[in-house]
Amino acid sequence: MLLVLALAVVIWSIGALMRAPIRQRMVMLTILWGAVVIINLTLPAGTPLREATGGDARPWLVLAAAVALVLGYRKGLVWLRARVDEPPPQVATSAAGKPGFSDTELNRYARHIILREVGGAGQKRLKAARVLVIGAGGLGSPVLMYLAAAGVGTIGVVDDDVVDGTNLQRQIIHTDGRIGMPKVFSAQEQMAALNPFVTVRPYNRRLDEQTARALIADHDLVLDGTDNFDTRYMVNRVCAALGKPLIAAAITQWEGQISLYDPANRGPCYECLFPERPAPGLVPSCAEAGVIGPLPGVLGSMMAVEAIKAITGAGEGLRGQLLIYDALHGETRRIATRPRPGCAACGGGEAVVSTDAAMRDGG
């Protein structure tokens, strides 16, 4: 075997001295490898030539398989990098320039990049995007985890609450060991552990309109998973005023709803559909009425999917559609929506949904 390795070194060195292309030198090594394998497969055991070349073909076959794996992996990375370097479509993101990807990131996002609807251009848009998630509870938990896993470059998270033991039945981003920690820092810790290539910006505060305007203006897309109507209406009005798309969901007991509110692109806003808050006591909170644990995971995952679609331009989003999911009976319904004339938030067209469909909690 040492004789064969020495011959390989000699062949490579001579080729280098003669400035032969690497491809030609690889061909010569392949010929040498083939000859060694043939000798070990055809000559009887104990033959001096066979013994000088290792005496067994199996190690050489294993070596060839290992080399093939390494070369295949390198070719795969080259192919992924070529897809990432495709010119991206024009995007409305805050980040300038073309974000690059390390080999580790290419490997991490490979399943996105090979999707025709996402590809390298879409993954670049995700990395350049700045998304604000309001609420780190039941809905916020899967949203934040999946946005981080997807490689959204900058994720802001707003919440003024702390982790409580009653949250852990459904708020999967938090852990028992972080009870008492502010939810935004608990979420940041979990997201950083999942994907160190994204930037998480925690805002441990309750939103007022001034703060909301500053934060929303600094992001491309807003996801609302809050658990109170005051915040929900205020966030909707700020998004409408600033022309920012808003993905909002709500849950109660066994049922949830989600839509993309985007009056800047001829869609309705939240207040178009629900111009008045439900009467007190009509829509009880999760603490009052209960909620099945996986339900916020379902609706939160839908929010993350809609966010990725909105950023990459993949598929058809929920602009002008209200999707209602009934977990108890395994049913999903879609209701077409449109702007409401005289809407106080966006001054849009006409709504077709009554406020009785409104739900309260983000879990």
For the ranges 48-52, 320-324, 356-360, the one whose mean pLDDT is highest: 320-324
pLDDT confidence of residue 238: 95
pLDDT confidence of residue 135: 95
Superfamily for 129-357? NAD(P)-binding Rossmann-like Domain (3.40.50.720)
Q: Is the pLDDT of residue 351 over 80?
A: no
**Rounded average pLDDT over 94-108:** 73
pLDDT confidence of residue 361: 62
Q: Characterize 204-229 residue by residue with b for buried, 16 or more Cβ atoms within 10 angstroms of its Cβ, and e for exposed.
A: beebeeeebbebbeebbbbbbbbbeb
Cβ partners under 8 Å of residue 311, min gap 6? 91, 93, 122, 125, 126, 129, 131, 152, 220, 221
**Rounded average pLDDT over 119-145:** 96
**Rounded average pLDDT over 234-250:** 95
> Which among 200, 225, 203, 228 is positioned nearest to 214, based on CA atoms?
203
Segment 186-233, tens digit of pLDDT: 999 999 999 999 999 999 998 999 999 999 999 999 999 998 889 999
> Which among 103, 227, 235 is positioned nearest to 156, based on CA atoms?
235
Q: Is the pLDDT of residue 139 over 70?
A: yes
Q: For residue 325, what is the enclosing H or E element?
A: strand 321-326
Mean pLDDT of the chain: 85
**Rounded average pLDDT over 3-11:** 71
Q: Which residue has the higher pLDDT, 25 or 185?
A: 185
pLDDT confidence of residue 83: 58
For residue 144, give Cα distances in angstroms to 149, 162, 187, 338. Answer: 8, 16, 8, 29
Among 12-16, 115-119, 197-201, name the one with the lowest average pLDDT.
12-16
pTM of the model: 0.72
Domain ranges of the chain: 129-357
Segment 278-336, tens digit of pLDDT: 776 666 677 777 899 999 999 999 999 999 999 999 989 999 999 999 999 999 999 99
